[in-house]
Amino acid sequence: MSSIHLLTDDISNKIAAGEVIERPASVVKELVENALDAGAKKITVRVEHAGTRLIMVSDNGCGMDQDDAVLCFEPHATSKIRTAEDLEKIITFGFRGEAMPSIASVARVTLKTRQAESQEGTCVVINGGNLVSALPTGCAPGTEMIVKDLFFNVPARRKFLKSQATEERHIVDVVTVISLAHPEVAFELFSDNRSILMSPACSKLLPRIKDVFGREIADAMVPVNLEAGAFRISGFITKRGVTRPSRSDQRIFVNERPVDALPVYRGIRDGCGPMLDKGRYHPTVLFIEMPPEFVDVNVHPAKREVRFRNEYELARCVKAAVESALRSAEEVYPFPDVPAAKATPFHLPEQFMSGRTEPDAPVAIPEPHDDLSQIQDAPEMPPQDFLRIWNNPA
Instruction: Say yes or no: 34 and 181 in one domain.
Output: yes
Position 4 scores a pLDDT of 63
Instruction: Say yes or no: 277 and 318 in one domain.
Output: yes
Count of the separate structural domains present in the chain = 3
Region of residue 303 (left: phi > 0; alpha: psi -120 to 50; beta: else): left
Give the rounded distance of the alpha carbon of 183 from its chain centre: 13
Position 366 scores a pLDDT of 46
Position 305 scores a pLDDT of 76
For residue 103, give the CATH number of its domain: 3.30.565.10
Position 74 scores a pLDDT of 87
Instruction: Say yes or no: 225 and 164 in one domain.
Output: no
Look at residues 141, 168, 203 and tell me which one is the last residue of a structural domain: 203
Instruction: Say yes or no: 262 and 364 in one domain.
Output: no
Look at residues 286, 307, 332 and tell me which one is the last residue of a structural domain: 332
The pLDDT tens digits for 273-318 are 998 999 999 999 999 999 988 988 767 655 567 889 899 999 999 9
Position 293 scores a pLDDT of 87
Task: Look at residue 340 and tell me if it is in a domain.
Answer: no
Position 195 scores a pLDDT of 97
Task: Look at residue 298 and tell me if it is in a domain.
Answer: yes
For residue 252, give the CATH number of its domain: 3.30.230.10
Position 249 scores a pLDDT of 95
Q: How confident is the model at residue 179 (pLDDT cuts 50, 70, 90)?
A: very high
**Residue 190 φ/ψ, nearest 5 degrees:** -125, 135
Instruction: Say yes or no: 246 and 148 in one domain.
Output: no
Position 300 scores a pLDDT of 63
246 by DSSP, 3-state: which?
Answer: coil
Which range of residues forms the domain containing residue 259?
212-332
Instruction: Say yes or no: 110 and 16 in one domain.
Output: yes
Measured CA to CA, the distance from residue 14 to residue 75 in angstroms comes to 12
Instruction: Say yes or no: 188 and 258 in one domain.
Output: no
Measured CA to CA, the distance from residue 126 to residue 135 in angstroms comes to 12
State the chain's mean pLDDT as an integer.
83
Percent of the chain with pLDDT over 90: 64
Task: Look at residue 147 and tell me if it is in a domain.
Answer: yes
* Buried b or exposed e, range 41-78, using 16+ CB within 10 angstroms: ebbbbbbeebbbebbbbbbbbbbbebeebbebbebeeb
Measured CA to CA, the distance from residue 32 to residue 53 in angstroms comes to 18
Does residue 88 carry a pLDDT above 80? no
Does residue 79 carry a pLDDT above 90? no
Contacts of 96 (CB under 8 A, 6+ apart): 76, 78, 298, 301
The pLDDT tens digits for 147-165 are 999 999 999 889 999 999 9
The pLDDT tens digits for 344-383 are 444 545 544 454 444 444 444 445 444 444 545 555 555 5
Question: Which amino acid, 245?
Answer: P
Instruction: Say yes or no: 45 and 159 in one domain.
Output: yes
Task: Look at residue 302 and tell me if it is in a domain.
Answer: yes
Does residue 47 carry a pLDDT above 90? yes
Instruction: Say yes or no: 385 and 282 in one domain.
Output: no
Look at residues 203, 237, 265 and tell me which one is the last residue of a structural domain: 203
Instruction: Say yes or no: 138 and 235 in one domain.
Output: no
Position 357 scores a pLDDT of 47
Instruction: Say yes or no: 51 and 196 in one domain.
Output: yes
Comparing CA positions, the residue from 177, 170, 175 lying closest to residue 283 is 177
Instruction: Say yes or no: 42 and 147 in one domain.
Output: yes
